[in-house]
């Protein structure tokens, strides 16, 4: 099947999902207002190799969901399972790219990637192996030339690319990206979107990404989960993105289905 129009192949549907989110809820205690529910009951099945995007109004709880998946926050109710096992702590199987860059400022770009690699308790690698592996992943995001620079010597877009390279270097089962391009200008963002598209088509992985950007969501994902407004925000739409891969921006732009979906998403975000 060279031109598959469905996001999920039959084999994927039959297989066990790599991640099962079952009935999770989350709220925070506010000193004045008491308990504030943020995430309402949420169930999602995520299959291996899927690129999932969570989209929704600001403050609805997207980052909170991603943090629960990452094991950095615990859910009040429900469970999240990764390959059958419940997630109760952060794990290297979940590579995170944060909303703002989180590079250690006293290390170069390369050392930041090496740090993620060398802390792996399962595999011991030699210094040379670590360095060449780090360079490989930096090359993946076109940053070989800046490997020796410190974070403050990198532009915002470059910093995020180092963060992406670091998350890839972990070779996690699932990549979690919290608005990885949100803090960038439109031009850089578009450039990195294309890079990310290229990257995820080359390196078949499971992705869960949070974004505000409808075009970004449509360009990259196989499935888009639209969250409603809080409190107790839930997923209101679960949309399969039918465009074939590899994707090209020009092709998408000429596809009436693209504009229809785009319109639908924009409307559901603005509350129609």
Ligand X SMILES: Nc1ncnc2c1ncn2[C@@H]1O[C@H](COP(=O)(O)OP(=O)(O)OP(=O)(O)O)[C@@H](O)[C@H]1O
Binding region for ligand X (CB under 6 A): 28, 38, 58-64
100 makes contact with Mg ion (CB under 5 A):
no
Tell me how crowded residue 117 is: count the other CB atoms within 10 A of its CB.
Answer: 19
Distance CA 223, CA 55 (A): 11
Instruction: For the CB of residue 247, give the shortest distance to another protein in the complex, in Å.
Output: 30
Between 73 and 118, CB nearer to Mg ion = 73
Cβ atoms 231, 208 nearer than 8 A: no
Residue 12 contacts residue 48 (beta carbons within 8 Å): yes
64 in Cβ contact with 237 (< 8 Å): no
In the bound state with ligand X, the residue whose beta carbon lies nearer, of 68 and 116, is 68
CB of 214 to Mg ion, least distance (A): 16
Query: Which among ligand X, another protein, Mg ion, none contacts residue 23 (Cβ within 5 to 8 A by kind)?
Result: none
Cβ-based nearer residue to ligand X, 22 or 73: 73
Q: Which does 70 bind (CB under 5 to 8 A by kind): ligand X, Mg ion, another protein, none?
A: another protein
From 4-12, 59-67, 249-257, 264-272, give the range in contact with Mg ion by CB under 5 A. 59-67
- Please report how close the Cβ of residue 118 comes to another protein at its closest, in angstroms: 9
Q: Show the tokens assigned to 57.
A: 């109004």
If the CB atoms of residues 8 and 133 are measured against another protein, the closer one turns out to be 133
> Beta strand pairing status for 206-211 and 51-55?
parallel
By beta-carbon proximity to Mg ion, the closer residue of 156 and 242 is: 156
Residue 22 forms beta bridges with which residues?
A: 79
Name the site residues for another protein (rule: CB under 8 A). Answer: 70-72, 89-92, 94-96, 98, 100, 102, 104-106, 115-116, 119, 121, 150, 152, 170
Query: Taking the CB of residue 6, how many other CB atoms lie within 10 A of it?
Result: 13
**CB nearer another protein, residue 63 or residue 244:** 63
Minimum CB separation of residue 238 from another protein in Å reads 27
Report, in Å, the least distance between residue 44 CB and another protein.
20
Contact between 144 and 175 under an 8 Å Cβ cutoff? The reply is no
> CA-to-CA distance for 114 and 108, rounded, in angstroms?
10
Please, which residue, 63 or 188, has the CB nearer to Mg ion?
Answer: 63
Which tokens is 196 given? Answer: 């990310």
Question: What gap in Å lies between CA 72 and CA 98, rounded to an integer?
Answer: 12
Total residues in contact with Mg ion, by rule CB under 5 A: 1
Strands (E) across the chain are located at 19-30, 34-46, 51-55, 77-82, 85-86, 94-97, 174-178, 206-211, 223-227, 235-240
Which of residues 12, 25, 63, 244 is near Mg ion by CB under 5 A? 63
Residue numbers at the binding site for Mg ion (CB under 5 A): 63
């Amino acid at each position: 099947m060279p031109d598959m129009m469905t996001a999920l192949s039959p084999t994927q549907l039959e297989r066990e999902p790599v991640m099962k989110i079952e009935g999770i809820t989350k709220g925070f205690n506010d000193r004045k207002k008491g308990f504030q529910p943020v995430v309402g009951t949420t169930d999602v099945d995520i299959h291996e190799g899927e690129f999932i995007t969570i989209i929704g109004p600001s403050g609805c709880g997207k980052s909170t969901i991603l943090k629960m998946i990452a094991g950095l926050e615990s859910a009040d109710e429900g469970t999240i399972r990764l390959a059958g096992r419940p997630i109760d702590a952060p794990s290297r199987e979940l590579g995170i790219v944060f909303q703002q860059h989180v590079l250690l400022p006293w290390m170069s770009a390369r050392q930041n990637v090496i740090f993620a690699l060398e802390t792996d308790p399962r595999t011991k690698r030699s210094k040379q192996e670590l360095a060449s592996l780090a360079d490989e992943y930096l090359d993946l995001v076109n940053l070989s030339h800046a490997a020796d620079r410190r974070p403050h010597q990198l532009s915002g877009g470059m910093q995020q690319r180092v963060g992406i390279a670091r998350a890839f270097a972990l070779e996690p089962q699932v990549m979690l990206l919290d608005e990885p391009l949100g803090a960038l200008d439109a031009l850089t963002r578009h450039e990195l979107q294309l890079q990310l598209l290229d990257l995820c088509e080359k390196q078949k992985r499971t992705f869960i990404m949070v974004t505000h950007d409808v075009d970004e969501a449509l360009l990259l994902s196989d499935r888009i989960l639209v969250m409603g407004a809080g409190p107790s925000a839930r997923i209101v739409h679960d949309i399969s993105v039918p465009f074939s891969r590899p994707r090209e921006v020009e092709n998408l732009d000429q596809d009436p289905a693209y504009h229809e979906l785009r319109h639908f998403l924009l409307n559901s975000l603005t509350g129609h």
